[in-house]
Structure 1
Amino acid sequence: MASRRTVQRSRFPAAWAVLLGLLSLLHVGKGGEQVPLLLWTSEGQSPPTAGHIVGQQQLASYLEKALSVGPRNVVLFLQDKMSIEDFTMYGGAFGNKQDSVFPNLEGALMSSSSPLVLPSVSWPASNAMIGQLQDQLETSPLYMDPETLSQLRLNASSPALLVFRLPYGIGADLVSVKEILSGNDEVIGQVLSIMKTQSVPYTAIYTALQPSRVSQVSHPQVFTVGGGRSLLQARGGYRERERERQQRIKERARIYAPVEFKEGENTCILLWAKRLSVGIQQSGYWEHHDLTPSTFGEGVSPKLHGSSCDKTKAKLVLNYENVLGCSSFKLIFAMSQRHYKVSARRWFTLDAVELECNGTKATFNGSRNIYAPAEYSYRCESVTSFRWPLLIPRSPKDPANQWRVSFEDFQIQGFNVSGSDFSYASDCAGFFSPGIWMGLMTSLLMVLVLTYGLHMIMQLRTMDRFDDPKGPAISVPQTE
């Protein structure tokens, strides 16, 4: 699709209301485990029937059809969370067009000849969409922001997958959610404006990784499509309903299980992280890849061939395919434990984190910073190689200098594992953090200033003679 010009929302108020109305009417049923997907391209698509939930295979067919007839420069706006209620609540669907937070998205959809709207896409399918696009385009994703996009020169003949991650507010503060969505719409507008200046045809997709609202309220919703007013029938107040939705999200939130390697029937290595990410520098830019969906989650079974463990050594090997241009990619955690006479106990260390890309290894040394008692697990909020690094390249000439690794909420245990649960965690955060040291030094400085002031006050001496204004003046001899 050729570059789209941003259309002012005042030109399409009725059409935008129709789109939101259809989007809401198509999303029926009580299940809230789906996310909406919006795609605009130059060729038409056949939307699914009302109430149909698009699965992974059907979504792949939609994407394949769009890319076979449309531009192969794909701009993917991937929001952390999104549900259809976000459009009805914040898109000005109830007649208050001035309150809409999607003017740029509205303009892009209305300027497209045939946008495709999928109201109900299973969120596992949306999670696998980057991999599907990567296979169909035969190129690695580029995680970008508007500033880096302005420096990138695209070519219409060469396919590109540009991914823009967008946040989402999950608190009970509705104003903050609205502000975040408005900021996301501004990012979409900036990206589309940059694509317009470069005159490169593109296909744009806007979706999310998971739903922002797990279940819908069971009260009926009535929308007048194309009319002037809309009604939302529900019992209770607006904030009460939102509070109930957020409570359901917290109650139904799932925490995925750790990666578990077994030697025989006994578990000997456990690994868990909120996010595993690797990056490589190519042509002066950093390309990043998120390994989390391929490592953790319900129904995900990472390949662990090459892993091993015994009483003194443990090695966990995570095998991947098609990561940052590497057809074969391995993430290796090498650990060891030994007895230290000074502390009179055994400790285990994460000796190295290795990245193997098509047989080429890059090694990060972690033994100086990542360690714990042998009976414990090790946990750290952030383990990176570039910002307050705990992982350091083995040598200045090691290929690791061209790579970045980042583990968020990281926990690992390679020895003395009991069952499928981590042992007590030894946290990387020391007792005296930089904030504590700053507070102690500031307090010490204030105590010193106060002590010096008291000392000076105690050195003051009162006069031994006083002048009486009614009497004769006091004469003080100079020789005294």
Structure 2
Amino acid sequence: MAAALWALLAALAGPVPGPGPAGAAQVPQVPLLVWSTERSLWAPLAAPAGRVLSEPELRQLLEPGLQRGPRTVLLFLQEQLSLEDFTAFGGVFGNEPNGAFPRLQGALGSAGSALTLPSVAGAAAAALPLTLQRALGSPPPLRLPGGALGGLRLNRSDPESDPGEPTLLLVGLPHGRSGLMGAKEALASNDAVLGVVLQVLQEEQVPYTALFTARRAHEPPSPGGIPGGFGGPRRGLLGVGEGPEPPPPLRWPPQGDPQMLLWARNVSVALRGQQRDLTPKTFGAAAAVDLGGSSWSPREARLVLQYKEVFGETLNITFLLRRSWFPVSGRSWAWLEEIGVTLGGAPPARFRVRGAAAPSPLGWRCGDLGTPGPLLLPLPPLEHSQHWGLRILDLQVQGFNVSGGVFGGASDCAGFFGPGAWMGLISGGLLLGGLLLGGGILLGLRPMDRFDDPRGPPLPVPLGE
């Protein structure tokens, strides 16, 4: 059964719509699974790959097998379905009991013939009851809410020997995603309903052809990034246009080949509890930062960010970078030495940056740089910096060897020996020390031969005692 479901997932995930017009990728589409107790109804490669099937194409593909197959046809229809439901909740690689489709998996594993259609147009899926009715030449489908077969007399005849009257059953799978039922639970509940219906057919020995799909395709993800309907995690790792492009980094000088680059996801300052977010003024189309006070030399780079009307005055944030040759390592190193904050004509608040060194072809990056913090330490006189707060997220800065106007890689401020790592190492060391001490004590125990060895001489005990 595992092989059957794995083949199903491979078939569903493999053929995807090929290139076409820009609007073609937006056509709602659902997968469709078809299986039958009769053998050789569809060729193994009957499903066309690389395009979304329309209603005429779907009818042309299904009609020969429906006419030659069993006269009982069931259409299992749930509210929503997508390829992501199978890839996320399929339960393969020996994990079948935890999947959401164990009954469907069993039916596919024991089917005489099966057909997997990964991409059926949403309009074709919605018209599937009418398509089946026309292909079979049957009356309108009999709707069975929740799979209640309740005393129906099903057709057991062979279409070749006794064609009989076709029976088309529309089985509505009742469970949908809601606040109380997640995607996997709803899919598993619908799979249980499917299993009950197929169990009745098996007990009554009724040959059948079954189709499994949904009324509609996935709803597109909401602006907040939460996908609608089933599916849970969506395959968007390689998607294009999943979000707005980040703004370009600051570069100095603004024209010509840049010598300094700086980028950050967020830049904020605080003075006596009042906080200002400087990110919109620093990056993007609405940036209003002046880099005119910056300077550069082969050994020292000074990037000055000047903002108007912050706390009522002009605010300057200065990044001081240095470069020097170190004979021991045999290479040139660059480091962010300090960051200064100046408001108006007041004395500057200076902060030394710890561990901000990297080989000069590289820049330096830090996910969270702020004060108070372990990497940003105030420099004397401390009274100038005690009222200031600075927070920079995802900072990347490079002041030397900038080539092509882009960052040339970066050394990260994150180290292995953080507080969590130290706690784990010390705890592990104490446990290992206790284990070694206990083992040494056990190995040092010696038995008392006088009392424990039965082969030794008897111990005389006076009768008076």
> What range describes the TM-score normalised by the shorter chain of this pair?
0.3 to 0.5
Q: TM-score, normalised by structure 1?
A: 0.45
Higher gyration radius (CA): 2
